[in-house]
Amino acid sequence: MQTSYNPIIEVDDDGLAIPEIGPWGIEKYNLVGRYANIFTTTMRDKWHSLVYIDLFSSAGYAKIEKTNKIIKSSSMIAMSLPTPFTKYICCDENIELINALQTRSKRDFPHLQAKFIHGNCNEKISEIINEIPQYTAGKGVLSFCFVDPFALEINFNTLRQLGRLKMDFLILIATGMAAKRNELNYTKTTNSTIERFLDNPNWRSEYHGSIDTSDTSFTQFLTKKLKNGFQSLGYSQIEDFHPVRYRLNGKSVILYHLAFFSKNKQGNKFWNIVKNYGNEQMTLF
Ligand SMILES: C[S@@+](CC[C@H](N)C(=O)[O-])C[C@H]1O[C@@H](n2cnc3c(N)ncnc32)[C@H](O)[C@@H]1O
């Protein structure tokens, strides 16, 4: 099994759009890249098509803030794999970022089959699903979907539609410090982000604690509901969400969690290998 692939790939400024990220983003690149690598190397011969779906894809390059380092971000990491996916479907609501990703992909990976969708992934979900090759007898399609929003702007209904297909998910849950800036909005009864995240209009009557994404009880409420949601889609063996920590003012704080879902035992086994490897190193620093 190939676990040696290093997803942290430094690149030069190419003059196209490059958003800035905090250094804590590196662990997510490590994990998504390493899982994608195990996924394609082990599944390539077993399935007719392997599809990578990036619902919040951004531009393919990211600059690490306060440094001059530019590295490939999720979609370009997935395109750089030694064993690529058969098809890539990338979506971003920012036209400049999705156009930059498309330009980079066509320049560096003209041989790959890729579709770039501009818009809100929750609204574009039918278009995204239509791009996944059809399953026919003897022609299996297995997908890996990376969900990487800034906050909690992924609707469970979007995940439900994808989860009906054969698909593994890696979802960044913006709990902990990463989501602190959003918490005030969520308390407003007019704010429907959590309702859409859980697909549950009654969540305010089911949760009575502090609506604060860095609060453990609120995080536990959200993660438990999300797990229940995935269980209802047939994802029975659900791993604990992986906390990504960062040292801030001398203290180790949880910045976000990564939730992994697979209907397949082997998928869960691979995620455990990847997650433990990710704990051991931060490649650039
Ligand atoms: C955290 S960044 C994603 C980063 C990217 N996966 C990477 O590897 O760096 C979130 C991205 O999602 C986009 N975005 C925000 N809301 C969106 C939505 N509802 N649908 C699609 N894209 C969205 C933003 O423009 C931004 O590029």
| Domain tally, the chain | 1
Give the model's pLDDT for residue 258. Answer: 92
179, 213 contact by CB (below 8 A): yes
Give the model's pLDDT for residue 140. Answer: 92
Domain range for 56:
10-176+235-280
User: Does any domain span residue 188?
Assistant: no
Q: Is the CB of 155 under 6 A from ligand 1?
A: no
User: Does any domain span residue 83?
Assistant: yes
In the reported structure, the alpha carbon of residue 92 is separated from the centroid of ligand 1 by a whole-number distance in angstroms of 6
Instruction: Please give the sequence-ordered ranges of beta strands (E in DSSP) within the chain, or none if there are none.
Output: 10-11, 20-21, 49-54, 61-64, 70-72, 87-92, 114-118, 141-147, 167-173, 242-248, 251-261
Q: Of 8, 18, 26, 58, which is best to mutate to test ligand 1, by the most ligand atoms within 8 angstroms of its C-beta?
A: 58
Give the model's pLDDT for residue 284. Answer: 38
User: Does any domain span residue 264?
Assistant: yes
CATH number of 264's domain: 3.40.50.150
Q: Is the CB of 120 under 6 A from ligand 1?
A: yes
User: Does any domain span residue 214?
Assistant: no
User: Does any domain span residue 124?
Assistant: yes
In the reported structure, the alpha carbon of residue 59 is separated from the centroid of ligand 1 by a whole-number distance in angstroms of 9
Q: Is the CB of 27 under 6 A from ligand 1?
A: no
157, 236 contact by CB (below 8 A): no
User: Does any domain span residue 272?
Assistant: yes
Give the model's pLDDT for residue 251. Answer: 80
Residue ranges in the chain whose pLDDT is less than 50? 280-285
Buried b (16+ CB within 10 A) or exposed e, 134-168: eeeeeeebbbbbbbbbebbbbbbebbebbbeebbb
In the reported structure, the alpha carbon of residue 138 is separated from the centroid of ligand 1 by a whole-number distance in angstroms of 35
Q: Is the CB of 95 under 6 A from ligand 1?
A: no
User: Does any domain span residue 201?
Assistant: no
- The C-alpha atoms of residue 85 and residue 43 are separated, in whole angstroms, by 10
User: Does any domain span residue 157?
Assistant: yes
Give the model's pLDDT for residue 145. Answer: 98
Residue 207: phi and psi, rounded to 5, are -125, 125
In the reported structure, the alpha carbon of residue 137 is separated from the centroid of ligand 1 by a whole-number distance in angstroms of 35
Q: Is the CB of 100 under 6 A from ligand 1?
A: no
Tens digit of pLDDT for each residue in 171-205? 999 876 555 555 567 888 888 999 999 999 999 99
Q: Is the CB of 127 under 6 A from ligand 1?
A: no
Q: Is the CB of 97 under 6 A from ligand 1?
A: yes
In sequence order, the 6+-apart residues with CB closer than 8 A to the CB of 265 are 237
Radius of gyration of the chain, Cα coordinates, nearest whole angstrom:
18
In sequence order, the 6+-apart residues with CB closer than 8 A to the CB of 101 are 57, 58, 59, 60, 75, 76, 90, 92, 116
pTM strictly above 0.85? yes
In the reported structure, the alpha carbon of residue 210 is separated from the centroid of ligand 1 by a whole-number distance in angstroms of 27
